[in-house]
Structure formats: structure tokens, C-alpha cells
Amino acid sequence: MRHAGDEIGAGNELNGITLGGIGDGTVFEFVESYANADDGYEWFGGTMNANNIVSAYVGDDNLDIDQGFTGTIQFAFSVSTFFNQNNAGLFGTGGSGDRAGEFDGDDCALKCGVQQDQDSSAFVDTSWPNANVYIYNWTHIGNSGTADGFTNPAISPASDNRGIQADTNWTGAVLNSIVVNLNTLAGFELSSSAFDVPDSDVVRVVASTFANTTATSGLAAAALAGGDAAVVAGKYDGGSANVDGGSTNLLVNENMYFVPTGAISNGRGKLQGAKTDASGTAGAVPADPRPANPAAAEVSGGVAPRGFGLDSSATYRGAFPASQPLWTDGWTTLDMGGVL
């Protein structure tokens, strides 16, 4: 899906793909949402499972979860928007991109008076609808590459293009995942509002890495620690500590930037949007989101995915194993355009 996002009314926009109440008998795999003005994907309830999905250069959130969605997602790749419009105006509904993930149970909780006693002993009975989503093997690349030796050519406002935010009535887990290149913005955050998610014991971040991003604190830190505690307690097989990484490259080539209005040959018989390297020279090599060092603690030591239809062998962190072909090859706009 490309170039969706028309505004139907105030606060009512078309996503790249909207999934409303879809059941778990649905097959949803190898899907790309590209350059949409609103969210890449938004789930409104439902129990469906998804795998091998891509969201790139969207104007709002990459993955948006609402209304008690309780499915699983495995192998997701998302890329933040790094450009504004040609007139320098903001692109999309979220100010040239917003979050890698915005996770809610129900956006109506406050104004509708939904009870928010959200802790492990009470949330099932007193708070609804609760999302319960398990996301495995997700790689997200943000739009700040200065720590990695290249410079974003047209950055959108610093308040945008954040990491993963767990908000109103969301419960679930993010496992075996990698988030990089957010600069001073938090890789994972739990809202601390009284009507949002007050307790980290119903949210888990397990065997996941947040690199080139600000250190987490408060409830977000508690969620990270809680995820690791679950590994230690044997609730998951294997696993290692979550890592707030430094400025090193975890991926082979994290440079996802290109000039949208230009096109050059990339040497692979394709056209690409004038991709540039650290010196600003056009024609840089395609990006590569596979781990640069597969033995490094930041990209290894994942847990064994559990659930119907999941690949339990994917105990690495991120969407792509090292030294294997990218599952985005041959069918995505990113590949056909020479960005990957």
C-alpha cells in the first residue's frame, strides 16, 4: 500500500492499512505500507496474527494498536520519515512521522470513564478493553543518524519520530527487537498519566535493544527491568539483559536516507532516490538492517517465540538474521527502489 492518508474529518484519517476486528483465521503476511500520510498499520481490536510486515516513511505511527487488539506480530521492519514536504511544510498527520509504535487499549478511556486500575491483580476485572499483543523480532530505524557517521539531510521536528510508547490500557510484550537511531528521544516509554498505564507489571520488554537513543527512566525503566526479571524467573526460555546501546552501529548499514526527488542507478539495475553517504555523495550503497556482529549481546540472546504460527527458531534480536537474504527482497518498494 502506497500514498494513502486522506483526511476524512478532524482526527479521522486513512491509514496505509486499517484492520478492524479481524479474526485469527486471517492470513496477513508479506505486506508493505509505504509513504502514507497517516499510520502504516492500525489495528482496531481483533485477534489476527501478522508476520513479515514493513512500514516505511509514513507521516504518523508505523504500528498503531487500539481497541483491545490481542494478536501477535512477528518479523516487522519499520523506518522513520526523515523528510518534510518540498515547501518545508510537515509531511503527514503526525508532523513528518511520529512513533515507531503507539499502543493503546482504548483511546476513549478518560472521556468515557473507563476504569484504569491497571496492575496485575486487578486489570482483568476493572479495565477494558485491554490489548494483549506480543511482538517478536521487530527492527525499527529512526531518523537520526549522526551517531553513525551520516547526517539526516532534512530532519523533521525533534519532538517527532520517537520510539515505542505504551499508553492507555495497553498490555503485552515486545520481545527480540531492536530500535536504533532516535538520538535524544526515548526508545521505549510508558505513559505515567493516571488514566494511562500506571504499572509496569502488565507490560514487558524482553531481550530487546534500544541503541543510539536516550536512556529510559521511571516506568519505562521498570518495564525493561520487569522484562528481564521474567526471563530470569523462567517465564521465557533464554534471553539476556536489555541494552541501552551507545553510538556504535548495531546493523550493517543503518543509512536509510535518500533524496525523494532524485533518482540514480544503484548498480543493481534499479533506480533509487539519490541515496547519500556521510560526505553527501550520491550513490551510496543500499542499507542493510542485518546485525553487523551477530555474536554481540545487543543483537543475540533472544527468547524462543511462543504462540501459534510463530517461528520459534527466531531467537535473534531484530527482524533479520545475519548472513541470510533479506525477506524484503524482490517484492517491497524499498528493495525495488534500491534503498535496501
To the nearest whole number, what is the mean pLDDT of the chain? 76
CA atoms within 13 A on the CB side of 84: 13
Looking at the chain, the whole-number percentage of residues with pLDDT higher than 90 is: 24
- Rg, the chain, Cα only: 19
pLDDT beyond 80 at 266: no
For the chain, the structural domain boundaries read: 7-249+294-327
Q: Bridge partners of 178?
A: 139, 209
Report pLDDT digits (tens) over 111-151.
555 544 444 444 444 455 677 899 999 999 988 765 555 55
Distance CA 205, CA 177 (A): 9
Range from 22-26, 108-112, 228-232, 310-314 carrying the lowest mean pLDDT: 108-112
Residue predicted with more confidence, 155 or 307: 307
Distance CA 222, CA 224 (A): 5
Contact (CB, 8 A) for 321 and 290: yes
Q: Bridge partners of 99?
A: 162
Amino acid, single-letter form, for residue 238: G
Among residues 211, 231, 193, the alpha carbon closest in space to that of 289 is found at 211
Q: What is the mean pLDDT of residues 150-174?
A: 70
Distance CA 88, CA 194 (A): 37
Q: Give this prediction's pTM.
A: 0.86
Q: What is the mean pLDDT of residues 165-187?
A: 81
Q: Could you please report the per-residue DSSP string of 142-187?
A: -S--GGGT---SS---TTSSEEEEE-TTEEEEEES-EEE--TTSBS
Residue predicted with more confidence, 262 or 131: 131
Exposed/middle/buried for residue 195 (C-beta within 10 Å: 0-12, 13-18, 19+): middle
Distance CA 149, CA 161 (A): 19
Contact (CB, 8 A) for 327 and 31: no
Q: What is the mean pLDDT of residues 198-217?
A: 70
Distance CA 114, CA 321 (A): 42
The DSSP H or E segment spanning 226 is helix 218-232
pLDDT score of 235: 63
Q: What is the mean pLDDT of residues 176-186?
A: 82
Report pLDDT digits (tens) over 57-79.
998 899 999 888 889 999 999 99
- Asked if the peptide bond before residue 289 counts as cis, ω within 30 degrees of 0, the response is no
Of 113-117, 275-279, 282-286, which has the strongest mean pLDDT?
282-286
Pairing label, strands 162-166, 188-190: parallel
Contact (CB, 8 A) for 70 and 310: no
Provide, for the chain, the percentages of residues in helix, strand and coil under a 3-state DSSP scheme, each rounded to the nearest 5: 10, 30, 60
